[in-house]
Amino acid sequence: MKKQIFFIILLFTFLFFINNIESKNNSVLGNCEKNQTAKYKKISSKYGNEEIKEITTNQLSKDQLEKHEMFMKIALEIAIKSKVKFVSIIVSPDDRVLCSGIFSKENAILHSELVAITNCSSSHKMVTFENHTIYSTAEPDSLSSSAIVWARFKQVVYGSSIKHLYCNACFSSLPIDSTYIFSRGYGIGVENIQLVAGVLQDQTDANFGSYCNSSISSVYKTNPQCKCKNPKLSKENTNNNDDGDDDNKNHHRRHSQNNEIDVDTKNERNQHHHDKDDSIDNFFDEIKSDDDFDKRIESGKQAEKSKNKEKKKHHSHHHSHTSKDGRSRTSTSTSISGNGHATASASASSSSSSTSFSHSSSSNDHHHKKDKSNKNKDNKEKGDKKDKKDKKEKKDKKKDKKDKSTSVEEEINTLKVEKNSI
């Protein structure tokens, strides 16, 4: 049973292929017999597709465009003066305007192209128009296109397209592009018609106007049935959205960069003031941890005591030495009150005090006999003065340390206030 079914399927397949081969062999271009099925041939592929390609204005040379615009302006002037929207003119191969035609409202089939052809046929005794050009303010409809093919024009130039007039301006028309008719001119032996589209289109569109959303009653007016898509607008909107996204991204990127710069600036400022605080704290710690600081101050005090003692002993005989001792005391006082420079100043004052003390000792030997009688009295006075000086020195020492600590702490507080304000 299965074998029988298989052979039946194989037989039908074989017969199908045989029928197709015979059909292909019997399909030829030319006249058909009565028993044959007739179909139109496909549009010639030499135009690139099934229809004639329009020539747009940007494909024309400068001279060609100027020539076509000049003749289209003539047709527009006739339309404006006669107050008729559809106008056609016929131009000879030597660029002369032979005839013109305007749409007749009294006869529905007398379109401007047909009127121009009729006028030239009558005045110039012409049946066909090989090598001639016809200009029309609007693209020829199916009726006018057929007439142009029959008249064998070489070139057709128009302003406003059927699609614009029907879909955008609500003008009544058969929705058939002229390329559909011109591409089928092979039926009467015409296959080389050139079609130039959109010459002075802005001006012709403005001259036609629009009947859409208008209450005017006219033979031209209709309610079009068009699929209204606008991919260019959608693409532009998409591009605009993309531009908006890029702006947002750039804004966000700039905002982030500004934030990073602000953070870096703040960090630099904070680090700068932190370094200041550290340097001041280190200086203050050095003063506190300096074990020899009090010893240097005490050494300067002792040197000052010795100089004061020698000053009183030899005041009457050694006035010049007293002046040196005064300068030494000034140097020592300056070294004690200086911030952070106590070591150098104290060393200098100690050196000066030692020099003065050596000089005073030599003078003391020279006047030993004279001062012996006053020794006991001076010793008593020295003891009293020493006690007073010791008390005063202790008081001054505490005061100096307190003033030094206060000045450093004030400077630290000032810097901290500046840091907080920033």
**Cβ 333 vs Cβ 340: under 8 Å:** no
Phi, psi of 208 (to 5 degrees): -75, -35
121-174 per-position pLDDT tens digit: 999 999 999 999 999 999 999 999 999 999 999 999 999 999 999 999 999 999
pLDDT tens-digit series, residues 384-393 = 777 777 777 7
- Does the pLDDT value for residue 363 go beyond 60? no
**140 touches 114 (CB < 8 A):** no
- The residue among 52 and 235 whose pLDDT is bigger is 52
**In this model, does residue 361 exceed pLDDT 50?**
no
CA 341, distance to chain mean position in Å, is: 60
User: What residues contact residue 263 under an 8 Å CB cut-off, 6+ apart?
Assistant: none
User: Whole-model pTM?
Assistant: 0.49
% of the chain exceeding 70 in pLDDT: 49
Task: Please report the pLDDT score of residue 321 as a whole number.
Answer: 46
C-beta pairs of 285-290 under 8 Å, 24+ apart in sequence: 286/340, 287/340, 287/404, 287/408, 290/342
CB contact at 8 A, 209 and 169: yes
pLDDT of residue 348: 37
Kindly give the interhelix angle for 201-208 and 62-82, rounded to the nearest 10 degrees: 10
* Residue 160 · residue 138 · CB < 8 Å: yes
Q: Report the distance separating Cα 300 and Cα 291, nearest Å.
A: 16
DSSP secondary structure code for residue 83 in this structure: T
pLDDT at position 196 = 98
User: Residue 328: pLDDT above 60?
Assistant: no
User: What is the dihedral angle through the alpha carbons of 103, 109, 115, 117, rounded to the nearest 10 degrees?
Assistant: 140
Residues with Cβ < 8 Å from 380, sequence gap 6 or more?
none
**What pLDDT shows up at residue 312?**
67
Is residue 325 predicted with pLDDT exceeding 90?
A: no
Q: Looking at residue 127, what is its pLDDT?
A: 94
Confidence check: pLDDT of 74 > 80 = yes
Considering the chain, what is the average pLDDT of its residues?
72
Contact indicator for 98, 120 with CB cutoff of 8 Å: yes
Within 8 A by CB and 6+ apart from 262, the residues are: none
- Over 90: is that where the pLDDT of 94 sits? yes
Instruction: Tell me which residue of 151, 120, 124, 156 sits closest to 137, measured CA to CA.
Output: 156
Q: Give me the pLDDT at residue 406, please.
A: 61
Grouping H, G, I as helix, E, B as strand and the rest as coil, residue 156 is strand
Residue closest to 137 by CA, chosen among 206, 81, 87, 69: 87
In this prediction, residue 289 carries a pLDDT of: 47
Whether 287 contacts 340, CB under 8 Å: yes
| Single-letter residue type at 267 | N
Q: Can you tell me which residue has the tokens 């029959």?
A: 150
Domains of the chain: 57-233 (3.40.140.10), 266-357+397-422 (no CATH)
Residue 195, classed as helix, strand or coil, is strand
Q: Is the predicted pLDDT of residue 32 greater than 80, yes or no?
A: no
pLDDT: which is higher, 292 or 301: 301
Count of residues in the chain: 422
pLDDT value, residue 57 = 95
Count helices and strands in the chain by DSSP H and E runs:
13, 5
Average pLDDT over residues 101-116: 93
**What pLDDT score does 64 carry?**
97
Please give the residue that has the higher pLDDT: either 328 or 218: 218
The two tokens of residue 208 are: 């036609």
Q: What is the pLDDT of residue 250?
A: 55
